[in-house]
Chains A and B, each alone.
Chain A
Amino acid sequence: MTLFTWIDLVYLLAVIGFILALKGLGSPKFARQGNLLGAAAATLAIAMTFAIPSVRHAGGRLILMVVAMVIGALIAVPAARRVKMTAMPQMVAIFNGVGGGAAALVSLDAFLILTQYDASVGKPAVYRIVEVILGVLIGCVSLSGSAIAFVKLQELITGRPITYPGQQVINAIVGLAIVGLAIATILTANVALLVAMAVLSLVLGVIFVLPIGGADVPVLISLLNSFTGLAVAASGFSLGNNLLIVAGTLVGASGILLTRMMSKAMGRSLANVLFSAFGSVVTAAGGADGSADSRPVRAGTPEDIGVLMAYARKVVIIPGYGLAVAQAQHIARELADLLMERGVEVFYAIHPVAGRMPGHMNVLLAEANVPYDELKEMDEANPEMPTADVALVVGANDTVNPAANNTPGSPIYGMPIVHADQAKAIVFLKRSMRPGFAGIDNELLFDPKTTMLFGDAKDTLSKLVAAVKSA
């Protein structure tokens, strides 16, 4: 067998590893092994790539390559190790964006090599240019789109949809310009045209993401993840590399399915998520800082609420992103344990999009060692809500907003919610009356059954623990 056959065989092994890794990631039992298997497959494939003669004998370029890899690893490992669990979505967005950027650069470089070094063979075939265009276009959109998703999640800019006059016209112009430049590139194989298209693709990524509301950013990251996969597949076409095509396509296809499952969890179609400028109507009604609504709410003391829970039969804890921001998952578990010791039935009702990514809340509670069997997914928890004595909503808002069920005009209408409103009493632990991430007012806050306890979730939960202890 020749060296290249060996390399292809190793790549095939890596492909099998990736498929099994994805399979493993889908099951709670094997998820970690799945990820490790994926990492092993990637390491194997990368090691084998050093055996390719053009890489092995690249001299100075080989050194540069290793330098770039060392720098990358030195940045990536500490960043990934130190990131807080709450900031996980941003981190994934960044790693996704740079992957898209890498794929775009590969396609661009492949085009340069094709047109400059191989100039003797004349203009490249149309399909080769199309492969390059797709890699550059999708990779650039993913790069700049992920960057904007990052600044939205990091709250460097508002989480609300950003709209401006003539938005549709500008989008259309950019889109048409990209199509025009792509056709011109195909006809002329001119590098300058391709670079111009790359720049416009970066612009497209930005204007595509700006009007998407903060609450929808998780769906968006999943979609951009899928895009990067497709960009990698496109660069695989340019290089004639099966490994890149399969790995990229696996991620591209599974990412699109995952994106659909996520928008379904919000009761909306993907098109609606992406193009409705979600929340822009609501911000006007909701008031920027929550002070606009002056209706009275009932604020309770920790002691009252502590007694209420200590003598309840069933308490349902509904955690939201506020719990995570306050790093209150440990103290929440302490409260739950304390109640269970007193014989109260306690479980956590987890909305599929609680937190900022699907399953995000499960990760956070797992960090606090909350056992799996105390976590109930929304569909499992809802039938039990009418028999719950207390629904303790910790830093959640949109995921319990009854407007999703009974206000057809509301932007979240149709999204399934945890039915906190059906519990006999509802307790909200909230920092303020500020609306949730979607920027929508919540009628439940004004419900006569509702008691508010304002403050940082960690602080108020500690007070509740003390109150339950002395109850």
Chain B
Amino acid sequence: MNVGIIELLTIFVLAAFVGIEVVSKVPSILHTPLMSGSNAIHGIVLVGTMTIMGQAHGTVQVTLGFFAVLLATLNVVGGFVVTDRMLEMFKAKPADRATSPESRSAESADGAAKPGASS
């Protein structure tokens, strides 16, 4: 064991406490955006995939690195965009309450074919 691993473990333990502390008082309405947002944050693994790509030698390592970069980009870009879309709709009290112009047409759901009893 060298000093490096102990330092990293110290950072790990402290970060764990910060992580728990930071989300301890989140209202349940924000659980979904929080999950989605933290999902985007771990997309920072992209930085790791880039450094590994920088060190890679030979076809196998470079190929693995390539796919790692691709997947991590999906995670970080998609994660932040999807969370922003979610939060875009959280407005405290909208001034105009007109129906959103992009309200989409109804999707026919699977059970629509089974209306059960009559109306």
Binding site for B on A (CB under 8 A): 11, 14, 18-19, 21-23, 25-29, 31-32, 34-36, 38-39, 42, 45-46, 49-50, 52, 54-55, 58, 61-62, 64-65, 67-69, 71-73, 75-77, 79-81, 83-85, 88-89, 91-92, 94-96, 98-99, 101-103, 105-106, 108-110, 112-113, 116-117, 125, 127, 155, 221-222, 225, 228-229, 232-233, 235-237, 239-258, 261-262, 265, 289-290, 297, 299-302, 322, 325-328, 330, 333-334, 337, 350, 352, 357-360, 362-363, 366-369, 371-373, 375, 377, 430-434, 452-456, 458-460
Contacts and interface: CB of A to CB of B under 8 A. Distances in A.
Given A32-B87, A105-B67, 18 more contacts: A22-B34, A22-B38, A32-B90, A35-B83, A39-B84, A42-B40, A46-B47, A61-B53, A61-B62, A72-B74, A98-B72, A109-B56, A250-B38, A265-B28, A299-B119, A333-B97, A366-B89, A432-B114
B15 A91 contact: no
Interface size class of B (residues with CB under 8 A): 35 or more
A35 B35 contact: no
Nearest to B81: A80
A95 B45 contact: no
B42 A99 contact: yes
B62 to A, nearest CB: 6
Nearest to B47: A49
B73 A72 contact: yes
B112 A431 contact: yes
A95 B74 contact: yes
B50 A454 contact: no
Contact of B15 (A38, A250, A257, A373): A250
A262 B111 contact: no
A245 B93 contact: no
Given A23-B22, A363-B89, A454-B117, A432 B111 contact: yes
A362 B31 CA distance: 10
A229 B34 contact: no
Contact of B49 (A102, A113, A333): A102
B45 A22 contact: no
A142 to B, nearest CB: 10
A11 B51 CA distance: 14
A222 B20 CA distance: 14
B29 A359 contact: yes
A297 B32 CA distance: 35
A254 B4 contact: no
Contacts of A363: 32-33, 86, 89-90
Given A26-B34, A80-B82, A106 B48 contact: yes
23 contacts: A22-B41, A26-B26, A35-B40, A42-B41, A49-B47, A52-B51, A58-B53, A61-B62, A92-B79, A94-B78, A95-B75, A101-B67, A103-B45, A105-B68, A228-B39, A236-B8, A247-B44, A249-B15, A327-B105, A327-B107, A362-B29, A366-B91, A431-B114
Contacts of A250: 15, 18-19, 22, 38, 41
Contacts of B82: 80, 83, 88, 91-92, 95
Contact of B78 (A31, A76, A251): A76
Nearest to A73: B77
B115 A92 contact: no
B74 A76 contact: yes
